[in-house]
Structure 1
Amino acid sequence: MRRRQGVSLAWLYLATFVLGIGLWWLYAALGDNELAPAPPEVIESFREGLRDGWLLEHTAASLQRVVAGFLLGVALAIPAGFLMGWYRWARGMVEPWVQFFRTVPPLALIPLVIVFLGIGETAKIFVIFLAAFLSCVIATFQGVRNVDVTFVNAARVLGANDATIFARVIVPASMPYIFVGMRVALGSSWATLVASELLAAPTGLGRMMQSAQQFLQTERIVVGIIMIGALGFAMDRLLLVLERRLTSWQEVR
């Protein structure tokens, strides 16, 4: 039964992909916008980028920034979320700042980031880090807060101390929330990439798309969008695989 469901879902993925490409091609062929690139033009631009090397160069630069910012954000968000959920004093000290900065778009922070960190790689990674951190810390905090109190009380009755309860009850029960937060953080990291590469980036997919916009090279813009979407999708699938391995005990539909 599981295998048939997997095949069915794969066919749905394929069908919606073909439908999307078909509608795009139809719009490019019949629309009045001469700048709208058709799929063959985008494919040719993609081949040119691979042949000349500029696409791999931009992709590698962006991937490095996203991975660094995402990993740093998650590495700090998970312990911060646990502290906020487990200790009242930590929640009182951290939550107001988290909620405040969650409402501020990363793009609005760029002028201050330039002032304090300059326009180097540190500034670009920091903007991505902030987006990933704010997305993941709330999910982790909510995971700790939603742990069934019955499990905690049962562990105490059996003689478990705080450290054992935290390691054997709180952490496993919070894992599904943490992975949801990580997936949202990953999306936020890629969404913030273009904004981070406004900081005088010499390379990167965001920089490539900005340059293509100036010269009306719309096919390159589409290539950049496709690369960002494909890389983000692939990384999200990897997180799903890791989640299934670490939360195999969880019942899902």
Structure 2
Amino acid sequence: MVHNWIKRILQVSYRLLAVAVFLLIWEVAPRIGLADPTFLPPFSKVFTAFIDLISTGELFKHLYVSLRRSILGFSLGLAVSVPLGLLIGWFKGFEYLIDPLLQTFRQTSTLALFPVFILLFGIGELSKVAIIFWGVQWAILLNTIAGVKNVDPLLIKSAKSMGTSPFILFVKVIIPASVPSIFTGIRLSATTSILILIAAEMIGASAGLGFLLYDAEVKYQIPRMYASIITMSMLGLIVNYTLVAIEKRVTRWKEETAVV
């Protein structure tokens, strides 16, 4: 038991080694003149600014606002993209009809459309949720379509040979087999939703992580600026690993099938 714990600690330490080296270089470089401490302060100063943001509660206020916007826009995109992707991937006629329009929309830069969303929905919450909704849906949609199209033909033939109806085939075979690909799109879109939101908050907002970053930059509070960037990175990591854990739990049947 103790041996397993030691082995686990060594594995975690090894995985964090590159991060530790990076932080060490960040701390030392400005102090020995390899970087200008005005624009790249030592990591210890950034960490102090990060702790100050936590102790005052300001970080949690901005984090709450950003998460609320991101989750709402992401949830709307998920609710639209998954059903639409399943339909497009399964019904070739529908795909043939709608694919040119989807490809046109997909090639349009999300942030380039932000002024349009502001004109349509104003500078308040709705425009930010709308731009997140628009930006996150494409990775989910395309991965859902790919998941449906890449279902093993043998599974489909086996189900049909047993007299399975098209509806049951779609529900019992196509959708479960598409789940891993759908989760890949969800993970990509979850990170994208945060990035889009940060950019949107930097353009027009009075709260949120993007506003915190922009406000620190304008006021030349460099350690505070880097602290907000670190917060965004940590948020992205937490979201990604949370989705990975959920995916493993949902697709546990794949591992059981492989073992059998």
Scaled by the length of structure 2, the TM-score of the pair is 0.90
TM-superposed CA distance for 1:168, in Å, is 1.2
Corresponding pairs, count: 250
- 1:73 correspondence with 2:77: yes
CA deviation digits over 1:143-167, x for unaligned, max 9? 0010112211111110100111111
Please identify, of 168-177 and 91-100, the stretch whose mean Cα deviation from structure 2 is larger. Answer: 91-100
Gaps of 5+ in 2: none
CA gap 1:130/1:9 in 2 versus in 1, 3 angstroms: farther
1:194 paired residue number? 198
- 1:83 correspondence with 2:84: no
CA gap 1:7/1:174 in 2 versus in 1, 3 angstroms: farther
| 8 Å CA contact 2:118, 2:127 repeated in 1 | yes
| 8 Å CA contact 1:66, 1:193 repeated in 2 | yes
Matching residue within 24, 27, 33 for 2:26: 24
How many angstroms apart in 2 are the aligned matches of 1:144 and 1:101? 21
Matches within 5 A, 1:35-54: 35-54=39-58
How many angstroms apart in 2 are the aligned matches of 1:190 and 1:232? 7
Matches within 5 A, 1:54-73: 54-73=58-77
2:208 paired residue number? 204
Q: Which runs of 4+ in 1 moved over 4 A?
A: 3-9
| % identity of equivalent residues | 31
Task: State the Cα RMSD in Å.
Answer: 1.9
1:238 paired residue number? 242
What residue identity is the alignment partner of 1:17? V
2:116 paired residue number? 112
TM-superposed CA distance for 1:66, in Å, is 1.2
- 1:11 correspondence with 2:24: no
State the secondary structure of the residue aligned to 2:16: helix
- 1:95 correspondence with 2:93: no
| 8 Å CA contact 2:50, 2:228 repeated in 1 | no
TM-superposed CA distance for 1:99, in Å, is 2.0
CA gap 1:231/1:36 in 2 versus in 1, 3 angstroms: same
| 8 Å CA contact 2:202, 2:213 repeated in 1 | no
Please identify, of 229-238 and 155-164, the stretch whose mean Cα deviation from structure 2 is larger. Answer: 229-238
How many angstroms apart in 2 are the aligned matches of 1:60 and 1:71? 16
Gaps of 5+ in 1: none
TM-superposed CA distance for 1:91, in Å, is 1.3
CA deviation digits over 1:77-118, x for unaligned, max 9? 111110110112321343323322222222100111111111
Matches within 5 A, 1:215-226: 215-226=219-230
Matching residue within 147, 152, 158 for 1:154: 158
How many angstroms apart in 2 are the aligned matches of 1:24 and 1:248? 40
Scaled by the length of structure 1, the TM-score of the pair is 0.92
How many angstroms apart in 2 are the aligned matches of 1:238 and 1:94? 33
CA gap 1:7/1:149 in 2 versus in 1, 3 angstroms: farther
How many angstroms apart in 2 are the aligned matches of 1:6 and 1:124? 42
How many angstroms apart in 2 are the aligned matches of 1:46 and 1:183? 27
TM-superposed CA distance for 1:199, in Å, is 4.5
How many angstroms apart in 2 are the aligned matches of 1:29 and 1:203? 33
